[in-house]
Structure 1
Amino acid sequence: MPPPEAPSPDLQAVTAARAAAVAVLARTLEVLDGRRPRGQLAGAVAEPVLAQITVLLQHGIAGESVDCARLHRLHVQLRSSVAAEFFGTSVRGERVRALAGRLECREVRVSSPGTARRTCARWVVTEFAIV
Structure 2
Amino acid sequence: MATTYSISDLAREFDLTPRAMRFYEDMGLLQPARSGPGGRQRVYSARDRTRLKLTLRAKRLGLSLHEAKSLIDMYDSPRDTGPQLRKFLQVLEGHRAQLEAQQAELQATLQEIGEHEKEARALLARIERPAKAGTKTGAKAVRG
Report the TM range for the smaller structure's normalisation: under 0.3
- Structure having the higher Rg: 2
Normalising by the residue count of structure 1, what TM-score does the alignment of the two structures yield? 0.24
